Copies of this chain bind each other. A is one copy, B any other.
Amino acid sequence: MALKSFVEVGPESHFPLENLPYGVFRHLEVEGEGEGEGGVSHSSSRPCVAIGDYVLDLSVIAAAGLFDGPILKSNYQCFLQPSLNMFLGMGRPAWKEARSTIQKLLSAEEPKLRDDKSLREKSLLPMEKVQMLLPAKIGDYTDFFSSMHHAKNCGTIFRGPENPIPQNWFHLPIAYHGRASSIVISGTDIIRPRGQGPPIGNSPPYFGPSQKLDFELEMAAVVGPGNDLGKPVDVNTAEDHIFGLVLMNDWSARDIQAWEYVPLGPFLGKSFGTTLSPWIVTLDALEPFACDAPKQEPHPLPYLAEKKSKSYDIPLEVHIKPAGQKHSSIVTRSNFNHLYWTLTQQVAHHTINGCNLRPGDLLGTGTISGPDPESLGCLLELTWNGQKPLSLNASVRKFLEDGDEITFTGCCKGNGYNVGFGTCSGKILPAPQ
């Protein structure tokens, strides 16, 4: 049975009292306030949670003294920051206390906020009146490669059907370092990258706008407390280091990537933009949707062998809306639970060499493809590298065209309520001349 808030929450809403995802916003009406540089605070950006079609401004709630639990009473400053990093670093006891305080404060029975018109008007803002920002300062962004179906399909397309999955894949969660500077919030336009593509025959390499622009359906974990350099995180306590999940589009230029990636991996084929959904859905909110992760064979090495191997049942969709079309087409229905490696294994592997994670770091899952043709997480797989174009209402696609708008959604279905992620979207603009 669904919990009841005094704020109206429609039955299809992603953001009922059971969810309470965290984000950072600023008022749309505030103008002329520049973004600070080099760590200067922006007075106008602050943490919030989503409830129905509203954001609850946590800086107002904190300033009103309503975080009165044992941890946050003396640490409410975490909600007066321009990003969530301080709160992220405080760990699960603080997160659980904040969740319980906010859940109570917004519940139908609790008068504190419900009956205080002035505080309500100051703290509850319609979503259309605010602009969502990146929820955290992301020090480092790592992208994994944890879907076996994606690994198999890419290997088959690029290297042929014999042994498409590299030998190391089943022994460790493969990953690469991504580019943090070009991570943008949902709704930011993506400029088609220019770059080099593979030469044909003896001619020089192709140079120009990417001709194989793609999306990658991913989710990403946001790191909570970090670890010190030289101190690996144990796989069985790794969950304490993960705050929650967002949707992520790891935009990829397949022609640039194909030419550049040997021997040091993807670089400019990825670094022109990566889009995040604004709401971090906490692992606590996702707990009712926890399920077993797929069985792993061969059995992982001891540092990756966990007592409980947990995944989450999170249905995911990809929608494409070509320029000028009224409606979007669904091209992918996938699920987080298709991933082979778990979030906790990713953390344990990432730190086994002593590498330090910091609060706000981002760990992408890799493209989330499932076993079925309609569950593939990128056009490279959906169109088999352009060989089988995809029909979208009136048009067809091998890869993305200028004006295409790509939207990811993800939503867990509970008993009478949703725990949703909202949307992660971006529109392709033409390359510079």
Contact = CB atoms under 8 A, between A and B. Distances in A.
A358 interface: yes
A268 B171 CA distance: 14
Interface in A137-168: 137, 139-140, 145, 166-168
Contacts of A361: 181
Contacts of A232: 194, 432
B267 A196 contact: no
A353 interface: yes
A130 to B, nearest CB: 22
Contacts of A98: none
A355 B89 contact: no
A425 interface: no
A177 interface: yes
Given A176-B176, A177-B267, A352-B194, A231 B432 contact: yes
A301 interface: yes
A355 B270 CA distance: 9
Q: Work out how many copies of this chain go into the complex.
A: 2
A224 interface: no
Q: Give the contact-size bracket for chain A.
A: 35 or more
A355 B260 contact: no
A230 B260 contact: no
Interface in A230-250: 230-232
Interface in A149-206: 166-168, 171-172, 174-182, 184, 191, 193-196, 199, 204-205
Contacts of A37: 85-86, 89, 359
Interface in A247-281: 253, 256, 259-269, 271-273
Contacts of A34: none
A195 B269 CA distance: 28
Nearest to A145: B264
A168 B259 contact: yes
A32 interface: no
A39 B39 CA distance: 5
Contacts of A40: 39
Given A137-B39, A191-B354, A355-B182, A176 B267 contact: yes
Nearest to A88: B38
Contact of A268 (B261, B352, B357): B352
A175 B229 contact: no
Interface string A119-135: 00000000000000000
Given A89-B38, A301-B204, A354 B177 contact: no
A157 to B, nearest CB: 12
Interface in A51-100: 81, 83, 85-86, 89
A139 to B, nearest CB: 6
A349 interface: yes
Contacts of A175: 264, 267
B166 A263 contact: yes
Contacts of A86: 37-38
A18 B409 CA distance: 58
Contacts of A261: 263-265
Interface of A: 37-41, 81, 83, 85-86, 89, 137, 139-140, 145, 166-168, 171-172, 174-182, 184, 191, 193-196, 199, 204-205, 207, 226, 229-232, 253, 256, 259-269, 271-273, 298, 301-303, 349-350, 352-359, 361, 432
